[in-house]
Structure 1
Amino acid sequence: MAVQTQCNSSSGSDPICYEEGSGPLAVIIIPSLLALSTLIVVSQIIWSFITKRSSAQIITGSSSNVNEGDPVPLDTGFGNMRPAQDALDPWEIPAWCTLEGVELLQMGRYGPICMGQLKQDSTSTAVVIKTLKDGSNQPEASEFVDFVLFHITVSKHENIVKMLYCQTRRMPMYLVLEASVPGNLLHFLWSLREDRCGASDNFQMFSERSVYLVAKQVAAGLDYLHSYHRIIHGDVAARNMLIGSGLSVKVSGLDLAFKSRQSRTVDKEQEANVPVKWKAPERMMRRPLTVRSDVWSFGILLYEMITLGSPPYPDLDPSEVLPNTLTHYRMKRPENCGAPLYDLIKYCCMWNFKDRPVYSAIIRLLDSYKYFGDTKPLCAGQQMDFCEYRRKAGLPQ
């Protein structure tokens, strides 16, 4: 059927035509909708800019001197923190240090987590700044101070993220941690998919043998946490590891370890933040968390590395993991994964936690197996679709 049109013409102008049934109303509505959508997009951009800027100002304030904030009022409930603050005195950031180029990364448990540069004399160091949010009450501030003390205690190992400074005697309170470049291990693995096989323009080749080298450092850091401090990490995954030059690695993401050490338990909110695909069976069934539960997650980390950041259990939805694990389901051997590495993954992911190796045994196996590791750069078939990854991994959308 032919479409009929009507045209209105006014003197000295071109005729305006529209389909019959739509009328002149469409001429008004469509431009209005376009204008509204443009306004929404512009508003979102402005809001994002304001949020990032305000988060940076929480730390830097109006001055480049990090020590020009308001003193913590010791004549209120905050005075209960005095003994802890005295212990932190050697770690308080000096007046001659400045934090520059501060940018918001994400919101953390206590407040904004930012990247920046720590300027000391003529040197500049990339840092991560964990901040206590504005308006926090006394219990929250006390917990944050304890969190800082926790980092001082555990950051005395080359494979644990290093604490540099803190600020607890003035507001805002924050913790300064040394950053690594390129940084997040999971993002680094994804970047290798975008470059040529297993190589980055500014980084060395990443092969199966590299997996052994990285894994040994992670195991050493986790072994230190448990052997010296009786600490269970609780969230062992590529997203919580930092990689630097020469494939140097540091264990990060210690928030859950801190909370579980404080209370000796993991509350429901914290447990919900750990994706099920990284959890050991006993943990999925809400049994007590043990260091061997971390060993299971370490096996999943090995899978992440050899697949350049693929989500584990790629053939299963998160809700299907526990039922299949109950029937002793195992992930297929990934492409480019040699038999020794696959055997170690299976060993770490034994059903009975008592059958899993301790970290000292894992380190010995990694040392022995690395000579069997292929030195050919790892390849992945395609770039990572982040939305699809979050869905398959069971992460919040």
Structure 2
Amino acid sequence: QEVAGLILERMNRQTDRQTDLTFFYFFPHTESASARECQSFLGFAHFLSELGSHPSLPRLLGVVTVQTPLMIAVEELEHRDLLSFLWRCRQDHTGQEAPCDMTERQIFTMGAQIGSALEYLHSKNYIHGNVKARSVLVGRDLSVKLWGLGPAYRRKTSAGSIEYVGDMEMRKWQAPEASARWSFGILLYEMVTLGGPPFPNIIASELLQHLQRVNTIKRPPNCSNTLYSIIKSCCQWKPMDRVSLAELIRKLQSKEKSTNDQAVLRVSEPFDMEKYMREAGYGESLNYTVL
């Protein structure tokens, strides 16, 4: 706690900008940890420091490496991850808590910010590999920042090692060849459905065959033609048919200016965690063997 306080005190002296919250990544059991685990933790800290600053990426506030516990301090945002935020938007708010209203314009605004972060990562030759609502942080002003950078670091360091083939629980978010543009389309789907899982009626183990038959993601009931067109342009089976990241950002920014911000998105079905986990494909990885 003393070290964490020193980091925050130093940050307050260095900037006038307010940080919503600070999240600390601790490296536990340092004495018993393997050299490889320690090196990986320090490598990730170095990766974050080299990444540089971008408005839509969380700020690295500090790193402790000269004493235990090893620690990385990263900017955290008030509403935390986007998926949990979207689930709260489904619920009726009673009492003193302010309503959590999501509009289609906010989807375009958030999408443009996330796209900008992806474009920045690509300019540095990094592949995010983990684009989904759980990897997005939401601030008090509903601005968003892209997090979940662990896969980007592992891809950089493993050079395609079999150890980092990918998260089996990402199968409904990733194209067969792991495309950020495909996953971006799924992210937009998550947003308009207020945290609904993609392809809810298709089990994850059959999704590849489903897509090979030129099936595409279905339009949610509350999704406009404009937004659905953008989602489909991301989720094309052939990579060459997908919208470019630059064009995607341009479309999102254009629609942000012209879309009505009054109609609040509603989903009639209450959130059910057990149903979500089943439809999202979590746990099915136990039935898989990676060759």
TM-score, normalized by length of structure 2? 0.87
Following superposition, the deviation at residue 259 of structure 1 comes to 0.5
1:74 aligned partner: none
1:229-253 superposed Cα distances (whole Å, 9 cap, x missing partner): 1100001000010011221110001
Secondary structure of the residue aligned to 2:141 is helix
Aligned match for 2:194, one of 308, 329, 334: 308
Paired-residue identity, %: 33
1:346 matches 2:242: no
1:218 aligned partner: 114
1:244 matches 2:150: no
Question: Using CA pairs below 8 Å that are at least 6 residues apart, which structure has the higher relative contact order?
Answer: 2
Within-5 A mapping of 1:48-59: none
Separation in 1, partners of 2:21, 2:49: 19
Is the CA contact 1:148–1:166 (under 8 Å) kept in the aligned structure 2? Answer: yes
Is the CA contact 1:208–1:336 (under 8 Å) kept in the aligned structure 2? Answer: no
1:131 matches 2:26: yes
1:377 aligned partner: 264
Aligned match for 2:53, one of 151, 156, 169: 156
- Shift in alpha-carbon separation, 1:96–1:217, aligned structure 2, 3 A: closer
One-letter code of the match for 1:339? N
Following superposition, the deviation at residue 96 of structure 1 comes to 8.0
Is the CA contact 1:216–1:363 (under 8 Å) kept in the aligned structure 2? Answer: yes
Is the CA contact 2:110–2:143 (under 8 Å) kept in the aligned structure 1? Answer: yes
- As a proportion of its length, which structure holds more strand? 1
- Shift in alpha-carbon separation, 1:95–1:219, aligned structure 2, 3 A: closer
Separation in 1, partners of 2:39, 2:267: 46
Separation in 2, partners of 1:336, 1:374: 14
2:3 aligned partner: 66
Is the CA contact 2:169–2:283 (under 8 Å) kept in the aligned structure 1? Answer: no
One-letter code of the match for 2:262? T
Separation in 2, partners of 1:96, 1:211: 32
Following superposition, the deviation at residue 395 of structure 1 comes to 1.7
1:146-203 superposed Cα distances (whole Å, 9 cap, x missing partner): 110111122400101111011111111010111101111000000011125xxx9436
- Shift in alpha-carbon separation, 1:336–1:323, aligned structure 2, 3 A: same
Separation in 2, partners of 1:188, 1:224: 25
One-letter code of the match for 2:188? L
1:50 aligned partner: none
Where in structure 2 are there 5+ consecutive unaligned residues?
Answer: 285-291
Separation in 2, partners of 1:243, 1:124: 12
Following superposition, the deviation at residue 352 of structure 1 comes to 1.2
Separation in 2, partners of 1:95, 1:160: 19
1:264 matches 2:125: no
Separation in 2, partners of 1:138, 1:216: 40
Is the CA contact 2:19–2:76 (under 8 Å) kept in the aligned structure 1? Answer: no
1:28 aligned partner: none
Following superposition, the deviation at residue 372 of structure 1 comes to 3.5
Is the CA contact 2:184–2:234 (under 8 Å) kept in the aligned structure 1? Answer: yes
One-letter code of the match for 1:341? L
Separation in 1, partners of 2:8, 2:191: 41
Separation in 2, partners of 1:159, 1:170: 31
Q: Segments of 4+ in structure 1 off by > 6 A?
A: none
Aligned match for 2:180, one of 281, 287, 294: 294
2:249 aligned partner: 363
Is the CA contact 1:66–1:97 (under 8 Å) kept in the aligned structure 2? Answer: no
1:177 aligned partner: 74
Separation in 2, partners of 1:342, 1:173: 45
One-letter code of the match for 1:261? K
- Shift in alpha-carbon separation, 1:139–1:378, aligned structure 2, 3 A: same
Separation in 2, partners of 1:343, 1:353: 16
TM-score, normalized by length of structure 1? 0.65
Aligned length in residues = 276
Is the CA contact 1:155–1:161 (under 8 Å) kept in the aligned structure 2? Answer: no
Is the CA contact 1:235–1:274 (under 8 Å) kept in the aligned structure 2? Answer: no
1:390 aligned partner: 277
One-letter code of the match for 2:278? R
Is the CA contact 2:19–2:77 (under 8 Å) kept in the aligned structure 1? Answer: no
Where in structure 1 are there 5+ consecutive unaligned residues?
Answer: 1-59, 68-92, 99-117, 284-292
Is the CA contact 1:314–1:392 (under 8 Å) kept in the aligned structure 2? Answer: yes
Is the CA contact 1:159–1:251 (under 8 Å) kept in the aligned structure 2? Answer: yes
Following superposition, the deviation at residue 270 of structure 1 comes to 5.3
Aligned match for 1:140, one of 18, 27, 37: 37
